[in-house]
């Protein structure tokens, strides 16, 4: 396994400018300036609970909508995860977590499979239309996970098992994903080589 599982990426489009750095073997330190306050909160929680150090500096056309900036950060975070994982030698590969936040309960299962696939279910009716913090549409939660899983090459099952408050539901989703990812990227001393019968992930 590489001793430096880090990545630093930049992405510029007509809609946003993103600088992002990660360290898979960090301690959960973060410095997040996404220009979208609720997303700053979610990414800070993601870093803290995944133990992945994360730096994000982004700005975009948030005067139109937060959509472009949030999606583009998800894309770059996924690309950075893929790069930092390298050939995936010696990792646990699978991770799962169940995380409560008051009345909300979310299960996340992660496979660093090299095959992008997201199964996302259980958000209550109307969640996608709710403005969390007055600016972050509930629909963006799934959209972020789509961007991350596709660009990182992850298989992710996210299931909201209970919840009423949109802030709690969204935060539990990010924390559950973080905890499952933390397990999946962790080195496993009993794993020799790449954890797949195919010999590649």
Mean pLDDT of 133-147: 97
Q: What is the pLDDT of residues 179-193, one digit of tens each?
A: 999 999 999 999 999
Helix (H) or strand (E) holding 147: helix 139-152
Which residue ranges make up each domain of the chain? 6-185
Does the pLDDT of residue 2 top 80, yes or no? no
Structure tokens at 187: 């080195």
Cα distances (Å, whole numbers) of residue 138 to 3, 46, 143, 162, 201:
38, 17, 9, 16, 32
Q: What is the pLDDT of residues 85-98, one digit of tens each?
A: 999 999 999 999 99
Mean pLDDT of 53-81: 96
Check residue 33 and give its pLDDT.
98
Instruction: Give me the CATH topology for the region 6-185.
Output: Ribosomal Protein S5; domain 2 (3.30.230)
The mean pLDDT of the chain is: 96
Q: What is the pTM of this model?
A: 0.97
What is the distance between the terminal CA atoms of the chain, rounded to a whole angstrom?
Answer: 14
């Amino acid at each position: 396994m590489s001793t430096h599982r880090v990545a630093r990426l930049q992405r510029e489009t007509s809609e946003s400018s993103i600088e992002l750095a990660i360290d898979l073997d960090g301690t959960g330190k973060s410095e997040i300036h996404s220009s979208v306050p609720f997303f700053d909160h979610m990414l800070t929680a993601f870093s803290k609970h995944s133990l992945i150090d994360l730096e994000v500096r982004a700005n975009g056309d948030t005067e139109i909508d937060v959509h472009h900036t949030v999606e583009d950060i998800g894309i770059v975070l996924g690309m950075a995860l893929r790069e930092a994982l390298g050939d995936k030698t010696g990792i646990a590969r699978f991770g799962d977590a169940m995380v409560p936040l008051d009345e909300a309960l979310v299960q996340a299962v992660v496979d660093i499979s090299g095959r992008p696939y997201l199964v996302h279910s259980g958000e209550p009716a109307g969640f996608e239309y709710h403005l969390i913090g007055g600016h972050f549409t509930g629909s963006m939660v799934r959209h972020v996970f789509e961007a991350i899983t596709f660009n990182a090459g992850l298989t992710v099952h996210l299931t909201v098992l209970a919840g009423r408050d949109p802030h709690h539901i969204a935060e539990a989703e990010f924390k559950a994903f973080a905890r499952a990812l933390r397990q999946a990227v962790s080195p496993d001393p009993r794993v020799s080589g790449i954890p797949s019968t195919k010999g590649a992930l």
